[in-house]
Amino acid sequence: MTTPHDPTPHPASEPAPAGPLTGLRVLDLATLFAGPLCATMLGDFGAEVVKIEHPRRPDPSRGHGPAKDGVGLWWKHLGRNKKNLTLDLSSPGGRSVLLKLVAESDVVIENFRPGTLEKWHLGWDELSAANPRLVLARVTGFGQFGPYARRPGFGTLAEAMSGFAAITGQPDGPPTLPPFGLADSIAALATSYAVMAALRGRDSTGRGQVVDMAIIEPMLAILGPQATWYDQLGYVQPRTGNRSSNNAPRNTYRTSDGSWVAVSTSAQSVAERVMRLVGRAELIDEEWFATGSGRAGHADELDEAVGGWIAAHTRAEVVAAFERAEAAIAPVYDVRDVLADPQYEALGTITELPDPELGTVKMQNVLFRLSETPGAVRWPGRPHGADTDELLGGLGLSQAQIAALREAGAV
């Protein structure tokens, strides 16, 4: 028997404990990453998530990234804990079914261009009439209004327009985009927070509301006080590579066995420990060493001292020495290292699940641990439309009615 603190999956014979969002129903109408990942996060903690896809145009994420035997692996992660229903929302039959679902749901997540749901007569007026307690989360690149509202919006554009790319990369190199869905993932986290705030508001008012999430805004928020710096000082943060403009030494350094480590000295005491460790304690007495910004101004000198010492030792020797000195360091990992690391193993960060298509599949576990009402990954992403008949039957539709909807192309 697992405890509330144990993040490992429960055996098939033992149901996972009820998560804190058990009893909530979420309709995931969105595609690709920001909206669907928000729904995944809610499902991880007990919400019943119904993924709604077009009958003939599945969510494109099913075809993103590597696949095994024709099975998209990204979808296994993104579609976990979701039931799958096909529905053509632009058809009269699809519209009717969605409104029946909305009447029994708490949250709808969508990422169509502004005006699309309204064109199908499924805008906020119609949805809230079907369920006045509904929370509608609208996730778009630029928000529901403004001069860019109807532009196609993807995370890459947010990474560019937020200022992230401008400060990322080497000083003499081009602005650099991340090699993964950074903006979408941050928007998903922000949207899940916004949905929970809206649901808490519903507890007070009894009414649902609209969440307007523009992907450009959470991305801007994580960059720190950029607007305040510019407003007060005219300061525009430059590209500094792996260095920081706030402290030094802060960089990645190569070890004698060809590995890499990352060092951070945000705290003054840690910076002093590092310099003693690498045999350059005399630098601590320099006047400029007393502040992070002062040390950042002498990054070349500090990098030479730290990098030279690290280059003479193996990764294992470097990490062990830094740990003895209580200085902050981490090896630079790829996914192979993550899967072998004892700290990730202790936390239960990676879980392994049975899967009818792949046999078993490993993926990251729930994002955090709750002591009393933990989340759980109950199943990986299912095939397109796998739960359509079950869900429609749950709405009271007969087999003949379901067959008629299928004949009309609505499901």
CATH homologous superfamily, domain 25-222+348-407 = Crotonobetainyl-coa:carnitine coa-transferase; domain 1 (3.40.50.10540)
- In 258-384, the DSSP E strands lie at 260-263, 329-331, 350-355, 359-364
Asked if pLDDT for residue 267 goes beyond 70, the answer is yes
Considering the entire predicted model, what is its pTM? 0.93
Query: Residue 92: CB partners within 8 Å, gap ≥ 6?
Result: 410
Question: Among 3-7, 95-99, 121-125, 131-135, which is the least confidently predicted range?
Answer: 3-7
Which tens digit of pLDDT belongs to each residue from 130-181? 999 999 999 999 999 999 999 999 999 999 999 999 999 999 999 999 999 9
Which tens digit of pLDDT belongs to each residue from 219-239? 999 999 999 999 999 999 999
pLDDT of residue 15: 56
Residues 122/107/355/86 CA torsion (nearest 10 deg): -10
Shortest CA distance to 113 belongs to which of 52, 31, 178, 46? Answer: 31
Which tens digit of pLDDT belongs to each residue from 70-97? 999 999 999 999 999 999 999 999 999 9
- In 189-302, the DSSP E strands lie at 209-214, 251-254, 260-263
Asked if pLDDT for residue 101 goes beyond 80, the answer is yes
pLDDT of residue 18: 74
Question: Residue 125: what residue type?
Answer: D
pLDDT of residue 3: 41
In words, the CATH class of domain 251-340 is: alpha beta
pLDDT of residue 212: 98
Instruction: Tell me if 25-222+348-407 shares its fold with 251-340.
Output: no
Question: Among 3-7, 49-53, 69-73, 309-313, which is the least confidently predicted range?
Answer: 3-7
Q: Where are the domains of the chain?
A: 25-222+348-407, 251-340
Asked if pLDDT for residue 309 goes beyond 50, the answer is yes
- Looking at the chain, the whole-number percentage of residues with pLDDT higher than 70 is 96
Give catalytic residues, as residue numbers.
184
Which tens digit of pLDDT belongs to each residue from 330-368? 999 999 999 999 999 999 999 999 999 999 999 999 999
pLDDT of residue 102: 98
Which tens digit of pLDDT belongs to each residue from 13-54? 445 567 999 999 999 999 999 999 999 999 999 999 999 999
Burial (Cβ within 10 Å: 0-12, 13-18, ≥19) of residue 125: exposed
pLDDT of residue 353: 97
Mean pLDDT of the chain: 95
Helix, strand, or coil here: 102?
Answer: helix
Question: Quick one: how many helices (H) and strands (E) in the chain?
Answer: 18, 13
pLDDT of residue 382: 97
Q: Are 17 and 40 in contact (CB under 8 A)?
A: no
